[in-house]
Amino acid sequence: MAEKTFAVTREGYTMQAKLSRENQDVLLEITGGDVPHYGVVTIVSPHQATQTIALQSRPGHQHQEGVLTERIAAVIAPALQNNAFIVGGLHVNRITKQQLAVAGAMAQALGEQVRDYLLAHPRDEVIEEFS
């Protein structure tokens, strides 16, 4: 398994992506801010529509990072050779309007870094054999 880390910093906080690969599949962990965590999963596949699952963050609320993981998913989709799981969660304590306003652009930039890396480093498919 190969791992690669990417990061974007703006308005006093960092959003990062840790990319892991198994065969032609991709696992991306999107974290950052003051409290990195896992709260959403976005599934990207050339064989089905993108889907996001958001877990509860506190009573009556769900994690909102799907907005970011779905943006990254849209950017990297053309570079995928097979499936991708994007797991994400970032929390900036007492986030300001300016910090919130740059989050989408940060996700876009992070997705572009990942996309460019995937395009530059394709994987040969390991063929599965079945009995």
| Domain assignments of the chain as residue spans, ordered by start | 2-120
Residue 52 pLDDT > 70: yes
Q: Report the DSSP beta bridge partners of residue 2.
A: 21
- Could you tell me the pTM of the whole model? 0.94
> What confidence score (pLDDT) does residue 34 get?
97
Stretch 63-77: mean pLDDT, rounded?
97
pLDDT tens digits, one per residue of 95-125: 999 999 999 999 999 999 999 999 999 999 9
Pair 85, 17: CB distance under 8 Å = no
Q: Confidence class of residue 1 from pLDDT cuts 50, 70 and 90?
A: low
Fold of 2-120: Ribosomal Protein S5; domain 2 (3.30.230)
* C-alpha pair distances (Å), 45 with each of 26, 49, 57, 94, 101: 10, 7, 26, 35, 29
Query: Percentage of residues in the chain with pLDDT exceeding 90?
Result: 95
Q: At what angle do helices 66-76 and 97-120 cross, to 10 degrees?
A: 30
> What is the rounded distance in angstroms from the CA atom of residue 33 to the CA atom of residue 39?
14
> What confidence score (pLDDT) does residue 87 get?
98
The residue whose two tokens read 């703006």 is: 10
